[in-house]
């Protein structure tokens, strides 16, 4: 717990017009942790991911990863640094196979340029072969190997979520951002997902997890951070957070609004 933070957000703020989606957020994620990020709808969780990955520039504040700032980088450069993500509203490349999706995730770790692709030297073929092996290994790891050659949009909902995880892992990230991976899964699938996330951590990938399903978050997170109206209202081990009155109020309050 004393290790230097892997990801650190300081006073991170993001406005959309008059709306403050993130309000001076401080967030730390340390290596080899699973951190849960929760909060009512519209709390700013996804926005936090979007700012960290460079989709939206922050209005103010700082994001550093492994001690270096990632503010101002394009999303592709952020991925290159070692942060990969999945999307709340699944965004697989629908017309491509699961395998191809994972290979696109591997894109940043491959070197072949246009000339190499045309001449297809032995090195290029080797690289392709290794990439396919790696992607297949991830499809196996996430449990969708038998759908490797099926079009992404023909997969079941749960399998699509897993394909997104495989695609993100293909870039060998050190930090994985999961945006509601359990949404739309049945209880059995959620159980499998729990195992998967722990296995991801055991591979040495740190996980920051947005999730509404409390059993998933509370079951696997080492630490939970609660957002409401863009602000952090609580932070700590799952049990403590669960009993925090401010958290209860945020959830119940928003349920009444």
Ligand X SMILES: Nc1ncnc2c1ncn2[C@@H]1O[C@H](COP(=O)(O)OP(=O)(O)OP(=O)(O)O)[C@@H](O)[C@H]1O
- Please report, as ranges, the residues that interact with Mg ion according to CB under 5 A: 46, 88
Q: Measured from the CB of residue 192, what is the shortest distance to ligand X in angstroms?
A: 23
Long-range Cβ contact pairs of 111-116 (< 8 A, separation 24 or more): none
Kindly state the helix (H) or strand (E) to which residue 169 belongs, with its residue range. helix 157-169
Q: Which sign does the torsion angle of CA 178, 179, 180, 182 carry? A: negative
21 binds, among ligand X, other proteins, Mg ion, none (CB under 5 to 8 A by kind): ligand X
Beta strands, E only, 34-172: 34-38, 60-65, 68-69, 83-85
246 binds, among Mg ion, ligand X, other proteins, none (CB under 5 to 8 A by kind): none
DSSP-derived 3-state class of residue 168: helix
Q: Which of 72, 154, 199, 243 contacts other proteins by CB under 8 A?
A: 154
Helices 98-106 & 122-142 angle (0-180, nearest 10)? 120
Is 182 near ligand X (CB under 6 A)? no
Contact stretch for ligand X (CB under 6 A) within 41-49, 90-98, 130-138, 170-178: 41-49
The DSSP 8-state label assigned to residue 145 in this structure reads: G
Task: Show Cβ contacts of residue 42 under 8 Å, excluding neighbours closer than 6 positions.
Answer: none
Binding to other proteins, residues 106-135 (CB under 8 A): 107-110, 112-114, 116-118, 120, 124-125, 128-129, 131-133
Instruction: Please report, as ranges, the residues that interact with ligand X according to CB under 6 A.
Output: 16, 19, 21, 39, 41-47, 88
Contacting residues toward other proteins, per CB under 8 A: 16-17, 46, 49-50, 53, 55-56, 74-76, 79-80, 84-85, 87-88, 91-97, 99-100, 103-105, 107-110, 112-114, 116-118, 120, 124-125, 128-129, 131-133, 136, 145-151, 154, 167-168, 171
């Amino acid at each position: 717990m004393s290790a230097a933070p892997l990801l650190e957000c300081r006073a991170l703020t993001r406005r959309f017009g008059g709306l403050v989606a993130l309000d001076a957020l401080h967030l730390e994620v340390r290596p080899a942790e699973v951190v849960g990020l929760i909060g009512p709808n519209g709390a700013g969780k996804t926005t936090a991911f979007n700012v960290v990955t460079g989709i939206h520039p922050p209005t103010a504040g700082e994001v550093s990863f492994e001690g270096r700032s990632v503010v101002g980088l394009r999303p592709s450069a952020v991925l290159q640094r070692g942060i990969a993500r999945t999307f709340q509203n699944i965004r697989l490349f629908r017309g491509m196979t699961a395998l191809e999706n994972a290979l696109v995730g591997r894109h940043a770790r491959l070197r072949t340029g246009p000339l190499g692709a045309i001449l297809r030297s032995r090195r290029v073929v080797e690289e392709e072969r290794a990439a396919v092996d790696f992607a297949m290994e991830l499809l196996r790891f996430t449990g969708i190997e038998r759908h490797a050659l099926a079009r992404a949009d023909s997969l079941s909902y749960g399998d699509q979520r897993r394909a997104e995880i495989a695609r993100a892992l293909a870039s060998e990230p050190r930090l994985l951002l999961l945006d509601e991976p359990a949404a739309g899964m049945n209880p059995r699938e959620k159980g499998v997902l729990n195992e998967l996330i722990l296995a991801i951590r055991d591979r040495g990938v740190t996980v920051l997890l947005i999730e509404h399903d409390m059993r998933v978050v509370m079951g696997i997170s080492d630490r939970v951070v609660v957002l409401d109206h863009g602000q952090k209202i609580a932070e700590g081990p799952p049990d403590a957070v669960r009993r925090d009155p401010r958290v209860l109020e945020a959830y119940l309050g928003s349920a009444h609004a």
